[in-house]
Amino acid sequence: MSDRDPSSEPLDEFALIASVKRRVQPAPGVLLGIGDDAAVLAPSEHPQIVACDALVEGVHFKRSWISPEALGRRIVTANVSDFAAMGATPRWALLSFTVPSSTDTAWCYAAHEGVIGGLEEVGAALVGGDTTSTGGPVTLSLTLGGDALWEPLRRSGGQIGDQIWVTGTLGDSALGLRMLKEGGGTSPEQAFVIARHISPEARLDWGLWLGSEGVGRSAADVSDGFLQDLGHIALASGCAAEVQLEDIPLSDAYRALHEGSSAPNLHDLALTGGEDFELVFTAAPDANLPARRGAIPVTRVGRLVSGESGAIRVLNADGSERRVLQAGWRHFRSKVAEDV
């Protein structure tokens, strides 16, 4: 009702919602967007895909590490990464935005800008949500919905003999997080891994290709840690997996930073660090995969084998076994990586 910039006023639920509503572009398929009791979407002839991810201040991020725009984009990336793992196309999203009353108004607007911008980049629209105050940490929970234009990739589709592939490089995000915890870093290598943690990219292009070509038999995104997410595939597919340690794809920055550190094992973070948002997937042994799509390579790292469901054997370069019982992030438990 006024010409004042609402982001310079004290935080107000309805002013924020009204501003976000004005910012969001009309989108095909959205019959009724922000501002009613619920949103209305046009019927689709395709199966519908829905996923939900949350980011909690103090658990997933610190406000001193990440700009509000990057935070908004990051919650979108976490969900789009799930869509990539299904080979599905994002269309719409609902944001549950929970912040302390003392939160800077401009910060809240910028976080929404990040969400809306991140969604626009993948052709999706924010159609509603819930904005609430909290006495605790900032918490963003995003639900993403969209279409399965072809058979969705499932974790359970793997078959014994499948080759295991992974996009991009692993461990950069976890190493970037370690750098942030140690106070940041300004070298090109440090900046690279920190950016991989703060502003990760989802591998939607790869996921859509795997689904549309029927090449992917099973897939998951690497959000909890490579071994754990591969373990989800193996467990769901009723088989075990073998991984060649030296084939795990590492970035030059990751290798350089490891050389300058006291960490004993080069691959530990790459195997167990979370939030890479790469894809791990399996394909038939004779599948024909391009070496890369755009700038993102794909690397064969192992195969599905018979054995205890979900068990993963990691093989050293000399053929000896490095068995990892459990590794990766699980909420409510500390990270466990056990070598036997």
Q: Which of residues 91-110 bind a copy of itself (CB under 8 A)?
A: 92, 94-96, 98, 101
Which residues, numbered 117-146, are part of the site for a copy of itself (CB under 8 A)? 127-137, 139, 141, 143-145
Residue type, 320: S
Token pair belonging to 53: 């991810």
Q: How far is CA 70 from CA 141, 148, 223, 258, 312, in A?
A: 15, 28, 17, 26, 34
240 binds a copy of itself (CB under 8 A): no
Q: What is the x/- site pattern for a copy of itself, positions 24-43, by CB under 8 A? A: -------xx--xxxxxxxxx
112 binds a copy of itself (CB under 8 A): no
Sign of CA dihedral 140, 51, 82, 333: positive
**What is the CA angle 139-148-232, rounded to 5?**
60
13 binds a copy of itself (CB under 8 A): yes
Which residues, numbered 281-310, are part of the site for a copy of itself (CB under 8 A)? none
7 binds a copy of itself (CB under 8 A): no
Backbone angles phi, psi at 125, to 5 degrees: -125, 140
Task: Please state at what angle helix 172-181 crosses helix 252-259, rounded to 10 degrees.
Answer: 50
Which residues, numbered 308-337, are part of the site for a copy of itself (CB under 8 A)? 330-333
Rounded least distance, CB 198 to a copy of itself, Å: 19
Alpha-carbon gap, residue 39 to 61, rounded angstroms: 30
Token pair belonging to 195: 């950016």
154 binds a copy of itself (CB under 8 A): yes
Q: Please identify which residue in 61, 83, 107, 254 interacts with a copy of itself, judged by CB under 8 A.
A: 83
2 binds a copy of itself (CB under 8 A): no
Which residues, numbered 206-225, are part of the site for a copy of itself (CB under 8 A)? 219-221
